[in-house]
A and B are shown apart, each in its own frame.
Chain A
Amino acid sequence: MRIESHPILTFKKGRKVKFTYNGKEMEGYEGEPIAAALHAQGVKVLGYSPNRHRPRGFYCAIGNCSSCLMVVNGKPNVRTCVEKLTEGMVVETQRGKGDLK
């Protein structure tokens, strides 16, 4: 399933681009939310809760709930449900709270 339209966000489905998810090469469309690209590839678990380490998936999808925080291009706490995909992005699962150092 691919998220094509959104009640709040507008995004253009651009050209096909490559990115990596935990080192694994994947494809998505430029401009769509990172989480949308992951979801379309069957990635349902986006993160883990900080205290009890339970899986967290797509939830609010509008950048509010912290359920989809991931490390993108080395930056922690990126809200992948509202961050747009670009060519060559390095997307990684975040364990615990993001590390700014």
Chain B
Amino acid sequence: MMNKTASVVIIGGGISGCAIAYSLAKKGVKDVVVVEREYLCSGATGRCGAGVRMQWGTEMNCKLAKYSIEFFETANEELEYEYDIEFKQGGYLIIAATEKEVEQFQKNIKLQNSLGIPSRYITPKEAKEIVPHMDETQILGAAFNPKDGHLNPFHTTQAYANAAQRLGVEIMKFTEVTGIDVENGKIKGVQTTKGYISTPVVVNAAGGYSQLISKMVGVEMPVFSERHQILVTEPVAPMQGPMFMSFSQNIYCQQTPHGSFIMGRGDPNEPRDLRITSSWDFLEEMAKTCIRLLPPLRELRMVRQWSGLYNMSPDRQPIYGPVKEVEGFYLACGFSGHGFMFGPVTGVVISEAILGEEPTIPVHMLGLDRFEKGELILEPSVV
């Protein structure tokens, strides 16, 4: 057990924590420590569907995603990664299966285009050209953005972690935070299973466990963590470019560069008690939806399933920035299932908030106090 001093302690070794650490170190901050209960990506980052899209329904989410995806395009070079983050920019094809979706997508696309996002509304026939194995008779149209895609969350997080470590960041794995000391309304230090860390700044990037961390400093957050499940199939030769997605039909499905298909769905009846077990129901429902919309995939054997936690905020947008109750306590949580794709922008805006710099994207309206004030803009486009 060693006691130490840090300028910033980041709780959580997922994409958010590692990106924040990198951004701080790049701006010259010394003695940044990341504390991770297990191993890097052991939480939601390593369990997610790995998709990244600019096609959102709120201006804020569009901006955050656009910034992040543009970073992913050059991340291998920027982070000087010796491997490959495997960014496959094959687009997102979001099918419209109901009149309501057609209307919503046309509205979304107008907003997206106004922000420089090259999404467009396409016919079932055009959709079929992009994903030839889909049953286009079941859709009314689709939204497509060729700049969306998916990448490897493990490699991406490792790229950030390696770059951060080269800049002097310390990453403490298999280290659990057991308490946070606050004195006179200010952060004093972090108690961990591997010793005490004195620090004036703590960042809560604990994903599905963020509410437990906030509770340690007496901050209540209106979030809950919901289990989401995924399955993966055997690999086959490349046949699907984009992420295939539907809100009303409840599916997202991508083919990884390795050739296996990864797919998931949401379910409002999923448990909210932090369990990350797997269920038979999911397999049945997922397979049914998948082969109805993408019939040739019925020939694929699935090899594995797993689950992870969506840290759900009331408006499905992230919770960023300082809190008024405790000086030195910053939030980067409540990502509602899209924390991985927002990783790069999270790193930038949280480091700016800590250093008191002008934000690259103004995110002050994403503070925790928006829920008290009732200033919510609900994100309509979530699976």
Residues of A within 8 A of B (CB): 50, 66, 75-77, 96-101
Contacts and interface: CB of A to CB of B under 8 A. Distances in A.
A69 B300 CA distance: 13
A96 B235 CA distance: 10
Nearest to A96: B237
Given A97-B237, A100-B296, A101-B132, 17 more contacts: A50-B235, A66-B234, A75-B299, A77-B236, A77-B301, A96-B237, A97-B235, A99-B236, A99-B237, A99-B239, A100-B236, A100-B237, A100-B239, A100-B297, A100-B299, A100-B300, A101-B296
29 contacts: A50-B235, A66-B234, A75-B299, A76-B236, A77-B234, A77-B236, A77-B301, A96-B237, A97-B235, A97-B237, A97-B259, A98-B234, A98-B236, A98-B237, A99-B236, A99-B237, A99-B239, A100-B133, A100-B236, A100-B239, A100-B296, A100-B297, A100-B299, A100-B300, A101-B132, A101-B133, A101-B237, A101-B239, A101-B296
Contact-size category for B: 10 to 19
Nearest to A69: B234
Contacts of B133: 100-101
A50 B236 CA distance: 10
A54 to B, nearest CB: 17
A97 B234 CA distance: 10
B264 to A, nearest CB: 20
B376 to A, nearest CB: 44
B93 to A, nearest CB: 18
B contact patch SS: loop
Which 8 A-B pairs rank lowest in CB-CB distance, beginning with the nearest?
A99-B237, A97-B237, A97-B259, A98-B236, A100-B236, A97-B235, A97-B236, A100-B296
A47 B297 CA distance: 23
Interface string B284-320: 0000000000001101110000000000000000000
A100 B297 CA distance: 8
A98 B296 CA distance: 13
A75 B301 CA distance: 12
Contacts of A96: 237
Nearest to B132: A101
A75 B300 CA distance: 10
Contacts of B299: 75, 100
Contacts of A76: 236
Interface of B: 132-133, 234-237, 239, 259, 296-297, 299-301
B222 to A, nearest CB: 45
B303 to A, nearest CB: 9
A99 to B, nearest CB: 4
Nearest to B258: A97
A96 B259 CA distance: 11
A4 B373 CA distance: 75
Contacts of B300: 100
A16 B116 CA distance: 67
B133 to A, nearest CB: 7
A101 B234 CA distance: 15
A6 to B, nearest CB: 20
- Give the interface centre of A50, A97, A100 by most chain B CB atoms within 10 Å: A100
A66 B299 CA distance: 16
A98 B259 CA distance: 9
Contacts of B259: 97
Contacts of B301: 77
A53 to B, nearest CB: 15
A76 B259 CA distance: 13
A32 to B, nearest CB: 22
A100 B260 CA distance: 12
Which of A75, A76, A77, A99 has the most chain B CB atoms closer than 10 A to its own CB?
A: A77
Nearest to A98: B236
A99 B365 CA distance: 49
A72 to B, nearest CB: 12
B127 to A, nearest CB: 17
Contacts of A98: 234, 236-237
A57 B237 CA distance: 21
A81 B296 CA distance: 24
A77 B299 CA distance: 9
